[in-house]
A and B are shown apart, each in its own frame.
Chain A
Amino acid sequence: MPDHQLDPHKWVDKYSDYLYNYTIVRVSDREVAQDLISETFLAGLKSMKNFKGEASERTWLISILKRKIIDHYRKINSKKGKAEVHIDYTDDESEGDWLEERVADNYDRTAEDEMENNELGLAIFACLDKLPEKQAAIFRRKTIDGQDTETICNEFNITPSNLWVIIHRARTALADCLEKNWF
């Protein structure tokens, strides 16, 4: 009996945010990211019978996505020149300074920060994934989408105190999970 099973109907709801976070820092283009994720899901559907259930659904989808991203870069790189870094100086005076400028590259730092932030984002989504489905869904709405209590209560047909109990459990579990995986 495999430990994990695939349920394509829930893929978009459960994993699209995670996959999007993963993709967007690697390709930094919304449309490309969207295409790659779409291709990933379709490829996943096609090879469902090869899924052995050893890895979790998410890990499996990520492994497909990784390959799609690599393919994407192969494709662009075959159109030579685009991946090269060009440094052009328009005036002669600043010529020769480029090495120093590279050293003090502020952009690099922000990029790194962003990477770290993105990794944290991935960790959060990965932890959310471990929560019971309803808990995760409600927590997402409340915390990430920032919807108000009333809207969520109406949609899930629960009372506000139900909602706060769920939020409480989700927060506790999430804090535990992040402490283990992030710090």
Chain B
Amino acid sequence: MGVKLFVGCKKAGFVCDKSQYREAGLKEKIGLIVHLTYCPACRNYTKRNNKLTKLLNNTTVKKMPEEDKKILRQRLLEELSK
């Protein structure tokens, strides 16, 4: 399969999402970049999407450790079954 240079907005958005998780292939990315040169809406979407990723990475989004959750769940269940 060759490189598809012109892709629709739907495909572009999809590739943009994937690239936020570093899961977009090179060919897909080329399609996205070409699309972005002539589509302001997708440029805007990409900008926001990148910003969101940055925010998510910058934050120390602390998750409660899984084993702690387990204990909590158990305590709650015990209490509920009383």
Question: Interface residues, chain A, CB within 8 Å of chain B?
Answer: 8-9, 11-12, 16-17, 19-21, 24, 30, 33-34, 37-38, 41-42, 45, 114, 117-118, 120-121, 124-125, 142-145, 149, 164, 167-168, 171, 174-175, 178, 182
Q: List 17 A-B contacts (CB under 8 A).
A: A9-B76, A12-B76, A16-B64, A16-B68, A17-B61, A17-B64, A20-B63, A37-B72, A38-B71, A38-B75, A42-B75, A42-B76, A117-B59, A117-B60, A124-B61, A164-B17, A174-B52
B79 and A30: CB pair below 8 A? no
B76 and A20: CB pair below 8 A? no
Contacting residues, chain B, for A45 (C-beta < 8 A) = 76, 79-80
Contacting residues, chain A, for B18 (C-beta < 8 A) = 164
* Chain B residues with a Cβ closer than 8 Å to the other chain, count: 30
CA distance A88 to B69 in the complex (A): 40
CB nearest neighbor in A for B76: A41
B27 near A: Cβ within 8 Å?
no
Contacting residues, chain A, for B48 (C-beta < 8 A) = 175
CB nearest neighbor in A for B48: A175
Task: Report the minimum CB–CB distance from A59 to chain B (whole Å).
Answer: 19
Top 5 A-B residue pairs of the complex, sorted by shortest distance between their CB atoms: A20-B64, A121-B61, A16-B64, A121-B59, A12-B73
Question: Interface residues, chain B, CB within 8 Å of chain A?
Answer: 13-14, 17-18, 20-21, 23, 48-49, 51-52, 55-56, 58-65, 68-69, 71-73, 75-76, 79-80
Of B49, B58, B63, B73, the contact of A17 (CB 8 Å cutoff):
B63
Contacting residues, chain B, for A17 (C-beta < 8 A) = 61-64
